[in-house]
Amino acid sequence: MMRLPRFLILGPPFLIRSFLIRSFLFTALLFAFIAPLTASRPASAQSGRRHLTMAEIEALPNSFPIVLRPPTSPTLRPIYTRMVELGEKFNPLNIGVLLSQVLYIESLRTPVIVEGCGAPGLHYARRQNHIRVCYELIPEVNQLLGKPRAKWFEIDSATRAFLMFAMLHEMAHALIKNLSIPVAGREEDAADHFALLFMTQVPDRELAHRIVRAPAAFFFRHSIEVEGPAGHDASDEHESSAQRAADVLCLLYGRHPDPTLAPQLNRTTAACIDFARRAAATWNARLAPHTRVDSGRMF
């Protein structure tokens, strides 16, 4: 029986406490109050910028609206019902609301279409400019998070944490295309970095660690249970799942150093701190012309 590294075990404390909801709201407050959002791009570096009120921030249009299509399969119905119950504020697929608040992307519209597809899937369709999420993805995610079969169709904190990562990854692709952001190197790596930087933006180290454990655990299991027998598909634009799991932990350590995490890293702690610093600097430069954050730095 495969064992997860101790750090990646998603124990009861993670599942009972709704860390993802806390992080979503706290991050929104972090940007709104600690890093004020500006109403418009400045005409010059010297010109002043008016800060938005909370009411104005909440009134900004969502560039990533969710379209929930009821599934025809009775098996998938509980997933749809749970997403409806979560509502717009607490549905991890709706993280685009926050992106729409911290970036000047009012003219961008990339719908998030959630539907039954016949197979697991989540991807950004460049030509149609929409993100497609398949209900069948949920049981696959839960299975690879190590949950018993009885919980494969549930959406708990760990599931929401992984979905938040996956959505931010696909939204990064949408931003790169629609904002004509140049990317040197593998775009899939850049999208992973964006998602992880966003999720670790919270100042609470424990909270950041608990949120990011889900994608790390998912990729670790995927590398063994899915890629393991045949190995990583060389035609896949993504890095191997084993490397993605390692990068998750490394960037997490770089953003929130923790001695208990150090033994799980596949490189030195200094290298991970530098890795996270370079990833943040790169994305800050990419988004500098588009961010509402008063400091000009997203991360």
Tokens at 268, concatenated: 């030195």
Pairing mode of beta strands 130-134, 112-115: parallel
* Intra-chain end-to-end CA distance of the chain, in Å: 39
d(CA 161, CA 88): 16
143 in helix, strand or coil?
A: helix
Return the pLDDT at 14: 34
Return the pLDDT at 231: 64
Distance of CA 249 to the CA centre of its chain: 14
d(CA 288, CA 25): 23
Question: Is a pLDDT exceeding 90 seen at residue 226?
Answer: no
Contact (CB, 8 A) for 160 and 17:
no
d(CA 236, CA 220): 17
Task: Please indicate, yes or no, if residue 25 is contained in any of the structural domains.
Answer: yes
Task: Please indicate, yes or no, if residue 57 is contained in any of the structural domains.
Answer: yes
Return the pLDDT at 86: 84
Question: Is a pLDDT exceeding 80 seen at residue 284?
Answer: yes
Which residues, other chains included, contact 147 with Cβ-Cβ below 8 Å and sequence gap of 6+? 154, 158
Domain span at residue 266?
11-42+49-229+239-287
Task: Please indicate, yes or no, if residue 298 is contained in any of the structural domains.
Answer: no
Task: Please indicate, yes or no, if residue 3 is contained in any of the structural domains.
Answer: no
Task: Please indicate, yes or no, if residue 234 is contained in any of the structural domains.
Answer: no
d(CA 159, CA 133): 14
109 in helix, strand or coil?
A: coil
Contact (CB, 8 A) for 10 and 146:
yes
Contact (CB, 8 A) for 153 and 85:
no
Say how many domains are in the chain.
1
- In tens, the pLDDT along 146-190 reads 899 999 999 988 898 899 999 999 999 999 999 999 998 899 999
Task: Please indicate, yes or no, if residue 54 is contained in any of the structural domains.
Answer: yes
- In tens, the pLDDT along 17-71 reads 343 444 454 454 444 434 566 666 654 444 456 777 778 888 889 999 999 999 9
Task: Please indicate, yes or no, if residue 221 is contained in any of the structural domains.
Answer: yes
Return the pLDDT at 212: 87
- In tens, the pLDDT along 236-273 reads 577 788 899 999 999 999 999 999 899 989 899 999 99
Contact (CB, 8 A) for 217 and 145:
yes
Task: Please indicate, yes or no, if residue 72 is contained in any of the structural domains.
Answer: yes
Token pair 């850049």: residue = 190
Which residues, other chains included, contact 187 with Cβ-Cβ below 8 Å and sequence gap of 6+? 173, 176, 237
In degrees and rounded to multiples of 5, residue 294 shows phi and psi of -60, -35
- In tens, the pLDDT along 74-85 reads 999 999 999 998
Please report which residue ranges of 11-95 form alpha helices under DSSP H. 12-16, 19-29, 54-59, 77-90
